[in-house]
Amino acid sequence: MLTIDGHCDPRFTAVREAFFRNFTEHGDVGAAVCVYLDDERVVDCWGGHADPARTRPWTADTLVSVASTTKGMVALCAHMLAERGKLDLDAPVARYWPEFAQAGKSEIPVRWLLSHRAGLPAIRRPLPTEALFGWSAMTAALAECEPWWPPGSRHGYHAITFGHLVGEVIRRVDGRSVGTFLRQEVAGPLRADFFIGVPESEDARAATVLPPPPVTEPTIWDTILADPESMVGRTFLNPPRTADLVNTRAWRAAEVPAANGHTSARGVARVYAALARGGELDGVRLLARATIERAIAEQSSGRDEILGLPTRFGTGFMLGMRGSIFDCGPGRRTFGHPGRGGSIGFADPDARLAFGYVTNQYVTGTARHPDRRVPALVAATYEALA
């Protein structure tokens, strides 16, 4: 019998009910949802199992790979360095990373890396899977890579390269990897579980990710697999990855900052709670309010060259848009990031609300059969605020 554990403020009972239905109607196996309103954790629920055999119950501190939800943490780290005066977002990347100037990239500003405008969604030179786990292999390939479109002219989702591009700038500026910076400057002080590079001591907490159930309708993966040598194909398949890679110790230990963060719903919601409140939570300040406002000013919008769908980006954070892949409800200034498979974290500064949802059952939504889990939870959350 399914049991939902945790806490739910009576005002948000509908969120708990929607979460229950995610298991009974929408295919969740193990998942958690957490909502902050101002500095109060009003929803903190979890349920299901962390393994396909359903022998390991999901717990309050279960970690799971959240794919691109990680990108929001990378953006946060970059803005913290900018606020400290160590990084100028409008300076050329080559100021901090001289090798990046190759192939006509000498004038690309850091801001374009964060807003997916640099024209580097894919690496042209074929790389082996092992390159994902070798930081220098990825950054050297990006430094020599010619842009796929004139930088700044349009935007396209840098699915994997985002993390190495921004992460290398962070490393050059600060001396620490993005995973170390996140642990020491964000997750540690805030007491939030969010890792880019899971320590071996925490490995037993990691849930097994389950592949998406098969679908019969067209998805972006049909486009990718139809021409793996194309720009879109290389974006997702170079270096190549197998479906079970996400469950290996090598993946959990590595820093793939665009795609392999591991967190709990509590962890991601707690970080966004600080940002929803103007940058501070429980006496820990991450950013000034003015820095957040600059970070969420729109930089890119319209048809995405990679996804083929409308997307909106600030400087690193995805911006909410109704009917899009990042539909965060009625909030007009929501920001954060979704992840492939279903996870999400976002802040609504106007409502002083933060939301986190993580799952180990990946789902590929389609036009006729979208992934209904997050929309149901978000709708219930905002209905409780009405």
Closest CA to 339 of 179, 194, 143, 149: 194
User: Per DSSP, what are the bridge partners of residue 64?
Assistant: 263
The C-alpha angle 384, 385, 386, rounded to 5 degrees, equals: 95
Residue-level length of the chain = 386
Preceding amide of 239 cis, omega within 30: yes
The amino acid present at 52, given as its one-letter code, is: P
**Cβ contacts of residue 283 below 8 Å, gap of 6+?**
none
Q: What is the DSSP string of 174-198?
A: HSS-HHHHHIIIIIHHHT--EESS-
**Cβ contacts of residue 214 below 8 Å, gap of 6+?**
none
- Per-residue burial over 291-327, b if 16 or more Cβ lie within 10 Å, else e, is bbebbbeebbeeebbbbeeebbbbbbbbbbeeebbbb
Report the sign of the C-alpha dihedral through residues 281, 287, 293, 295, in that order: negative
Report the sign of the C-alpha dihedral through residues 4, 8, 10, 14, in that order: negative
**In this structure, how many other beta carbons lie within 10 angstroms of the beta carbon of residue 55?**
8
Cα distances from 287 to residues 81, 146, 185, 257, in angstroms, run 10, 34, 11, 20
Q: Is 115 labeled as catalytic in the residue annotation?
A: no
At residue 95, the 3 state secondary structure works out as helix
- Say how many Å lie between the first and final Cα of the chain, rounded: 33
Backbone angles phi, psi at 167, to 5 degrees: -65, -35
User: Per DSSP, what are the bridge partners of residue 302?
Assistant: 311
Task: Provide the total of helices (H) and of strands (E) in the chain, helices listed first.
Answer: 14, 14
Please identify which of the residues 68, 177, 264, 343 carries the catalytic annotation.
68
Q: Just list the catalytic residues.
A: 68
